[in-house]
A and B are shown apart, each in its own frame.
Chain A
Amino acid sequence: MPGILLAVILYVAMAIFVIGMGWRMYRWIRTPVPLKIVLTPGPQKASGVLGRLAGELFGFRALAKADRTLWTPAWLFHVSLVLLFLGHLGGLVIPHIAQASLGLNEQQFEHMAQIVGSAVGILAIAALVWLLLRRLLLPRVRWISTFSDYFALVLLLLIIATGNAMRFMGGLNIIQAQRFVAGWWTLHPVAPPRDPMFTVHLLLVCALLIYIPFSKLVHIGGAALLSPTLNQRNNPRQHRYVTTWEKTDGNSPASS
C-alpha cells in the first residue's frame, strides 16, 4: 500500500473519531436532567461527588462491589490500555521529550520501553482473553451478548496481538515509525515503515477509531462522569433543583 494512502486513511479515521465523539458528547451534555435521580446514600457536597466519580473512574468501585471476577480483567484491561496509549505517545510521538523527562539515555529508554511495553502487551491480551472467555462461558453473559460485543473484543485483541508481534518478532524499524508519526501529526506525511504487520496494526486502529463513536465503545466519552445517578449531589431539600429545560421550554411537561 502506498505510504501516503495509509496516512490519509489515518487522517480520515481520526477525523471521524474526533467529530463523532464530539457530537455524541455534545448531545449527552445538551440533554437535560429534569429530576434529581442520584443514587443514595450519596454525597451532599461537590467534593463528595468528585470523590465518588474518581472512585468509579480510577477504581471501578461499583464493579468491584458487583463481581471481582469481572472487575479484575476489566480494570486490568483498561489500565493496560491507558499505559499502551501513554507508551505510544512517549515512544512514537514525543520520544525526545519523554526520554529527557525520564532522565534516561537512548539505550536505557529503549530498554525500558522493551520491558514495560512487553509486560503491558501481554497483560492486555490476557485480560481481553479473560473477558472473551467470560462472555462465552457464563450462560447469563453469553445470553446478553450481541455481535458487537464480540466484534469489539476481537478487534481489540487483533490490534494488541499485531502490536505484540512487532515487538516480539523485532521486525519494526522504530526510527521509521517515529518519522511516520512525526510527519503525520505535523501534516507532512511520509512513508510508513515497510512492515506488513505495521500496516495491518494501523489499519485495525483506524477501524477502531471509526467504530468507537457508533458503538458501545462510545462509553470512553465520559459515561460515568455524565451519569446523573453518580454526578448529582444528594441535596434536593437543601437546594431547589430546577433544570434549564423547565426554564426555557414553555411546552415542557413540567410547566404544563
Chain B
Amino acid sequence: MEIPQLHPDACVGVQAHRAKKELLAPLGLSPELPPDWREKALCKFDELLKQRRSLSLYLDICVRCGACADKCPFFLGTGDPKNMPVARAELLRKVYRRHFTVAGKVAGSLAAGEELTDTVLQEWFTYFYQCSECRRCAVFCPFGVDTAEITMAAREVMASIGVAPKYVTEVIKKAHETGNNIGIPEAAWIDSCRFLEEELKEQTGLDIKVPVNQAGAEVLLVPPSADVFVNTDTMMGYARFFHAAGITWTTSSYASEAANFGMFLNYDQLKKVNRRMLDAAGQLGVKRLVMGECGHAWRAAQAFMDTLNGPVDFLEPPCPEHILELAARYIRAGRLKLNKSANDGLTVTYHDPCNLARAGGLLEEPREILHAVVNDFREMPADTIREKTFCCGAGAGLLTDELMPTRMKGAKPRMEAFRTTGATHLAVPCAICKAQFPVAFKHYGVDAQVVGVMDLLGKAIVL
C-alpha cells in the first residue's frame, strides 16, 4: 500500500475515555492521578527497566533506521508520524534518555532527552492507545525491536498512576466478577448454550450438545464469550466439530472468556485473568484445555500461561491446544467426513490475526482447514498475510467507540488487501477482528461478510 504523506498531530485529539476511581481501585490501581505522579511513574518505569530486558534493550539499541516506519497499519492509515513505530517508541525513549541514561542526564535535549511532563503523559495516553500491540514492526526490525513491549510498558507505567482507559479496565473488572468480558452471569450463559442446542437441533435434527460445567468431560473449551452471544455460528461450529469427532467437552461458567484484557493493561492483571481457566480446568477435572477463536487469548494462553500460572502438568499436552490445531489434526487423520460443497457460492479469503501469526505460530492449520472445507479459497497479497499480516485495527483495547476514527484508519491496509481478492467472505478466527471488520466493511463500502473458520468447518461437516 502507498506510504502516506506526513500529517503531524492528525490523531492527537483521538483519545480513549479515562477510567475513574470505581474502575481503577478494584484493579489495585491508583484511584486518581496522585500529586507526586511524576516520581511514582518514574519509579515504576525504573522497576520495569530492571525486570524486562525487552524494555531496556529495545530502548537502548534502536538506530532510527526507519525500517518499521511504513509497516504500521496505524501510520499507513493516519499519516500521523507519531504512529510510526519508531516514533511511538521515541515517546517513551526520550523520557528514558533524560532520566535513566548518562547521555541524557549530561546533555539533556542535545541527546534527545525530555522531562516527563503533563504534555508527555497526554501524548503517551494518546499514542500508546493507538498501538494494537500487533508486532508487525518487529518482523522488519534488524534487532527485532518489538513496539508491543514498549507499548505494554508505557501502559503499565500509566496504569500505576491511575491513567488507564475506561474500556479496558471495565472489561477486566467484568472478567473478574462474572468470568467473561461481556459481564454475563452464569444463568444467562447456561440459557444461551441451551438456546444454541435448540438452534442446532433445528438445523440438523440432532441432539448436539453445548455443555456447561460438565465435570469429567475430556476437553474444557474456553471460547471468547462473544462466540456465545454474537458469533453464534462459531460456537455452533465448535459443537458440530466435537459432536462429529466424538470428543466429550464442556464450557465453564467460571472461565467463560478466552480473551485476556490484562495483557492490555499490566502484568498483574494478565496473570490474574489467565489464572481463571486453569482453576476451572482443575475443578471440572478435564483432561485437556482447548482455546476458541481469539487472537490475543491464544498468545496469553499458549505463550504465557505455563510461565505465569504453571506448571500445567495436570493437563495433557499440548496444553493449551487451539481449536484450529485440534480440528486440523482430525482432518489430517481422516477422522471427519467433510462436504466442501456446503460452502459453495462463497469466495473465501483468510485474515491472519496478529497474535495467531506473530505471537502464536498458528499459520498453517487455518489454511489446512479452509482448503479442506471451501472450494473457492484465495489468499490476499503475500506482504499482507502470515507473519506480515495487517492488524484489523482494533486489537489491544482499541475496540471502543470513542476510538472509531483511529480504528477505521487502522483498518485501511487490511481493507485494501482484501479488495484485491474479490472475496465475498473474510474468514477470521478472532473475536476482536470479527467485531471490527463489519464496521470497517461498511466504512470502506466493501460488500462482504465476516465468518469464523469454525463456522465454515461446522457447515462442511457431514453429521
Q: Which of A141, A229, A245, A252 contacts B69 (CB 8 A)?
A: A141
Closest 4 CB pairs of A and B: A40-B361, A66-B140, A229-B144, A66-B67
Q: Which of B51, B86, B143, B358 contacts A245 (CB 8 A)?
A: B51
With contacts A62-B144, A65-B140, A146-B112 taken as known, whether A28 is within 8 angstroms of B81 at the C-beta atoms is: no
Q: Point out the residues of chain A lying under 8 angstroms from B70, CB to CB.
A: 140
Pull 15 A–B residue pairs with CB atoms less than 8 Å apart, ordered by A. A31-B52, A33-B52, A34-B52, A37-B303, A37-B359, A39-B359, A40-B360, A40-B361, A140-B84, A144-B87, A147-B110, A218-B60, A236-B307, A237-B320, A242-B307
Query: Which of B193-201, B277-285, B310-318, B417-425 sits within the interface?
Result: B310-318
**A253 and B103 contact, CB distance less than 8 A:** no
Q: Point out the residues of chain A lying under 8 angstroms from B145, CB to CB.
A: 227, 229
Q: Point out the residues of chain A lying under 8 angstroms from B140, CB to CB.
A: 62-63, 65-67
**B66 and A34 contact, CB distance less than 8 A:** no
Q: Point out the residues of chain A lying under 8 angstroms from B103, CB to CB.
A: 214-215
A24 to B56, CA, bound (A): 10
A245 to B308, CA, bound (A): 12
- Output the least CB separation between B51 and chain A (Å): 6
With contacts A40-B361, A218-B60, A240-B307 taken as known, whether A228 is within 8 angstroms of B69 at the C-beta atoms is: no
Does A169 belong to the interface (CB within 8 Å)? no
Q: Point out the residues of chain B lying under 8 angstroms from A149, CB to CB.
A: 63-64
**A27 and B149 contact, CB distance less than 8 A:** no
Interface residues as binary, A7-46 with B (CB distance below 8 Å gives 1, 0 otherwise): 0000000000000000010011001111111111110000
- Output the least CB separation between A235 and chain B (Å): 10
Shortest Cβ distance from A237 into B: residue: B318
With contacts A28-B60, A143-B6, A242-B307 taken as known, whether A229 is within 8 angstroms of B146 at the C-beta atoms is: yes
Does B121 belong to the interface (CB within 8 Å)? no
Other than A66-B140, A219-B143, A237-B320, give 13 A-B pairs with Cβ distance below 8 A. Answer: A36-B307, A39-B359, A41-B387, A42-B361, A56-B142, A62-B140, A65-B388, A144-B64, A147-B110, A149-B63, A214-B101, A214-B102, A216-B64
Shortest Cβ distance from B313 into A: residue: A240
Does A5 belong to the interface (CB within 8 Å)? no
Does B371 belong to the interface (CB within 8 Å)? no
A144 to B56, CA, bound (A): 20
Shortest Cβ distance from A225 into B: residue: B143
Q: Point out the residues of chain A lying under 8 angstroms from B359, CB to CB.
A: 37, 39-40
Does A103 belong to the interface (CB within 8 Å)? no
From 215 to 256 in chain A, residues with beta carbon under 8 angstroms from any chain B beta carbon are 215-219, 223-224, 226-230, 234, 236-238, 240-243, 245-246, 252-254, 256
**B142 and A62 contact, CB distance less than 8 A:** yes
A99 to B86, CA, bound (A): 46
Shortest Cβ distance from B300 into A: residue: A35
**B357 and A28 contact, CB distance less than 8 A:** no
A38 to B320, CA, bound (A): 17
Interface residues contributed by chain B, number (CB under 8 Å): 70
**B61 and A223 contact, CB distance less than 8 A:** yes
A58 to B22, CA, bound (A): 53
A230 to B45, CA, bound (A): 24
Interface residues as binary, B43-76 with A (CB distance below 8 Å gives 1, 0 otherwise): 0000001111110111011111111111100000
Interface residues on A, range: 35 or more
Q: Point out the residues of chain B lying under 8 angstroms from A60, CB to CB.
A: 142
Q: Point out the residues of chain A lying under 8 angstroms from B146, CB to CB.
A: 37, 39, 229
Interface residues as binary, B142-179 with A (CB distance below 8 Å gives 1, 0 otherwise): 11111001000000000000000000000000000000
From 95 to 151 in chain A, residues with beta carbon under 8 angstroms from any chain B beta carbon are 138-141, 143-149
A143 to B51, CA, bound (A): 31
Does A74 belong to the interface (CB within 8 Å)? yes
Does A70 belong to the interface (CB within 8 Å)? yes
Interface residues as binary, A187-225 with B (CB distance below 8 Å gives 1, 0 otherwise): 000000000000000000000000000111111000110
**B57 and A31 contact, CB distance less than 8 A:** yes
Does B141 belong to the interface (CB within 8 Å)? yes
Does B402 belong to the interface (CB within 8 Å)? no
With contacts A34-B52, A70-B66 taken as known, whether A65 is within 8 angstroms of B139 at the C-beta atoms is: yes
Q: Which of B3, B57, B149, B318 contacts A223 (CB 8 A)?
A: B57
A242 to B145, CA, bound (A): 22
Q: Which of B51, B67, B112, B357 contacts A148 (CB 8 A)?
A: B112
Shortest Cβ distance from B106 into A: residue: A214
A242 to B308, CA, bound (A): 8
Shortest Cβ distance from A229 into B: residue: B144
Q: Which of B66, B306, B307 contacts A144 (CB 8 A)?
A: B66
**B67 and A31 contact, CB distance less than 8 A:** no
With contacts A140-B6, A144-B66, A237-B318 taken as known, whether A31 is within 8 angstroms of B304 at the C-beta atoms is: no
A254 to B306, CA, bound (A): 12
Q: Point out the residues of chain B lying under 8 angstroms from A70, CB to CB.
A: 65-67
Q: Point out the residues of chain B lying under 8 angstroms from A27, CB to CB.
A: 56
Does B135 belong to the interface (CB within 8 Å)? yes
**B53 and A146 contact, CB distance less than 8 A:** no
**B69 and A240 contact, CB distance less than 8 A:** no
Q: Which of B303, B357, B363 contacts A236 (CB 8 A)?
A: B303
Q: Point out the residues of chain B lying under 8 angstroms from A226, CB to CB.
A: 53, 57
A180 to B404, CA, bound (A): 67
Q: Point out the residues of chain B lying under 8 angstroms from A31, CB to CB.
A: 49-53, 56-57
With contacts A39-B139, A236-B303 taken as known, whether A140 is within 8 angstroms of B66 at the C-beta atoms is: yes
Q: Point out the residues of chain B lying under 8 angstroms from A252, CB to CB.
A: 51
**B52 and A32 contact, CB distance less than 8 A:** yes
Q: Point out the residues of chain A lying under 8 angstroms from B61, CB to CB.
A: 216, 218-219, 223
**A37 and B358 contact, CB distance less than 8 A:** no
Does B302 belong to the interface (CB within 8 Å)? yes
**B53 and A32 contact, CB distance less than 8 A:** yes
A146 to B65, CA, bound (A): 11
- Output the least CB separation between B301 and chain A (Å): 10
Interface residues as binary, B1-36 with A (CB distance below 8 Å gives 1, 0 otherwise): 001011000000000000000000000000000000
With contacts A31-B51, A140-B81, A253-B268 taken as known, whether A62 is within 8 angstroms of B141 at the C-beta atoms is: yes
**B307 and A62 contact, CB distance less than 8 A:** no
Q: Which of B60, B65, B139, B304 contacts A35 (CB 8 A)?
A: B304
Q: Which of A36, A56, A143 contacts B81 (CB 8 A)?
A: A143
A201 to B317, CA, bound (A): 61
- Output the least CB separation between A106 and chain B (Å): 41
**B101 and A39 contact, CB distance less than 8 A:** no
Q: Point out the residues of chain B lying under 8 angstroms from A245, CB to CB.
A: 51
With contacts A63-B67, A241-B306 taken as known, whether A256 is within 8 angstroms of B268 at the C-beta atoms is: yes
Q: Which of A62, A67, A219, A223 contacts B139 (CB 8 A)?
A: A62
